[in-house]
Amino acid sequence: MKIVMFIAAATVLLTLTGCGSFQETPDIEPVTPPTTSSIPATRPTLTDSETAARTDTVFLQMLDSYGIDYGTDGGDSAVVMGHTVCDALDRGVPEPELLPALMEDGPGYSRAHATLFIETSIAVYCPQHA
């Protein structure tokens, strides 16, 4: 049955081609976009200070989201403390030993908030310690 259908289709195709009723579609040239553009080829880059400012903003927003109070200095001391956490970890101080500095000696955070502060510092400033 399939062979009969194939032969019938081939016969119709040959008949149409012979009559001139069947035409192949002409080759269509692709449209080439213009070569000039008003859009700059490179993205603007941030300076180191702009990148640091954005990173600090993310850090403070994360502390806010956890309900961690970081004082009235606009977060400057919290940013310094976040970097200090990373510096201590770089020197090999284990995370649990950092807790007293944030609980008793420093801002008086609860154990939960001190732990979140350390984890946030790591996530934002020194992810290599995660």
CB neighbour list of residue 79: distance below 8 Å, 6 or more residues apart? 56, 59, 60
Q: Which pLDDT does position 16 carry in this prediction? A: 44
Instruction: Give the residue-averaged pLDDT of 44-52.
Output: 82
11 in a domain, yes or no? Answer: no
Could you tell me if residue 104 is inside a domain?
yes
pLDDT in tens, 14-42: 444 444 544 555 566 666 665 665 665 67
CB–CB of 120/82 below 8 Å?
yes
Is residue 82 within 8 A of residue 125, CB to CB? The reply is yes
pTM of the model: 0.65
User: Does residue 32 or residue 5 have the better pLDDT?
Assistant: 32
Q: For residue 5, is it within any domain?
A: no
- Is residue 112 domain-resident? yes
3-class secondary-structure state, position 24: coil
Q: Which domain holds residue 96?
A: 48-129
Q: How far apart are CA 42 and CA 57, in angstroms?
A: 26
- For residue 130, pLDDT beyond 60: yes
User: Residue 101 falls within a domain, yes or no?
Assistant: yes
Q: Give me the number of domains the chain comprises.
A: 1
Quick one: CA torsion of 62, 63, 66, 67, rounded to 10 degrees?
-140
The whole-number pLDDT of residue 107 equals 86
Closest CA to 78 of 95, 64, 94, 92: 64
Question: Residue 34: inside a domain, yes or no?
Answer: no
Q: Which two tokens stand for residue 29?
A: 């040239």
In a domain, 81, yes or no: yes
Res 47 pLDDT > 80: yes
pLDDT digits (tens, 9 = 90+) for 65-96: 999 998 889 899 999 999 999 999 999 999 99
* Within a domain: 98: yes
pLDDT at 44 exceeding the cut of 50: yes
pLDDT at 41: 62
